[in-house]
Structure 1
Amino acid sequence: MRIIKKETDYALRALFFINEKGGKIPVSEIYSQIKAPKPFLRKIFRMMASFGILISQKGKNGGFEFKKPFEEITLADINDIFDERTTPGGCPFKSKICANYKTCVLKGKISEIEEETHKRLRNTYIKDLWR
């Protein structure tokens, strides 16, 4: 079971880099540090901006900076941007709604585990992970 997606990993690396450098960081500088495909990182940055984590400024002096203070960002804030949570009736093992949902012996326990995991992510601040 993968708890943290690749997008979340790259997002965290980018946020740590932006925090370390301070201020508005040009995209090119972030790309060279993170070493991930540019289209992939562009999508990640766009999503973090749309969820209120970063501010994007275009142009010659453009770049990304924090909208939400670094100290207040939790793992859940970042993970929830990229994690497709299981919907009611959904199965964590399949991408389609399960026909056996009503009689499934796993759904209750899996839902409980997912909720406990999400609670821990909500209580983990990324500042505590940054060295």
Structure 2
Amino acid sequence: MLLTRASEYALLSLALIGEGGEPKDVETLSKQLDISKSFLAKVLQNLAKNGILISYKGAKGGFALNKRFDEISIIEVIKAAEGKNPSVFDCSPSQECCPGDRANSCVIWPFLNRLQNKIDGFLENLTLKDILDN
């Protein structure tokens, strides 16, 4: 699956964090988005580990953007949130996932791989600003 709830929550959180000038804490974000605080905390920590957010500790702590909206590609958000590259199918990025001899005889893999490459290119060029401007 290309996108899961982790990606959705990451994108929604980034939009809310970016609209304010101050860091936003997990509790506030989870209430605004009506989602699990513990799951959201993991997603935001992954975004911080990958340099998309900055994490501040303490009473006035929380998360703030580390980049401008136009510098954050959607593919980097998905990779950070999911912990892996997005893929249409498990085998679409590489035939190595195909069991046994099927890798050499799969007639649909070239199509799946081209589709994956087009989606990757689209997501690399699409920024958070592009999404929020529409």
> In which range does the TM-score fall when normalised by the shorter chain?
0.7 to 0.9
**What TM-score, normalized by structure 2, do the two folds share?**
0.83
Counterpart residue number, 1:107: 109
The TM-score normalised by the length of structure 1 is 0.85
Whole-Å separation in 2 of the counterparts to 1:78 and 1:12: 7
Aligned length: 125
Q: Is the partner of 2:95 in helix, strand or coil?
A: coil
Instruction: Tell me the equivalent position of 2:13.
Output: 14
For 1:22 and 1:35, locate their aligned partners in 2 and report how far apart those are by CA, in whole Å: 22
Within a 5 Å distance, the mapping from 1:30-49 to structure 2 comes to 30-49=29-48
Deviations 1:48-103 (A, max 9, x none): 01110001112111100011222211111111221444463344xxxxx4221111
Once residues 24 and 105 of structure 2 are traced to their aligned partners in structure 1, the CA distance between those partners, rounded to angstroms, is 52
Tell me the residue number matched to 2:67. Answer: 68
Q: Identity of counterpart residues, as a percentage?
A: 28
CA RMSD of aligned residues (A): 1.8
Letter in 2 for 1:3: L
Counterpart in 1 of 2:27?
28
Secondary structure of 1:129's aligned partner? helix
Distance (whole Å) between structure 1 residues aligned to residue 59 and residue 22 of structure 2:
15
SS at match of 2:122: helix
The more displaced of 23-32 and 113-122 is 23-32
What amino acid is aligned across from residue 64 of structure 1 in structure 2? F
Gaps of 5+ in 2: none
| Structure number having the greater helix percentage | 2
Tell me which residue corresponds to 2:94.
88
**After alignment, is 72-81 or 7-16 more displaced?**
72-81
Distance 1:112 1:34 in 2: 35
Which runs of 5 or more residues in structure 1 are unaligned? 92-96
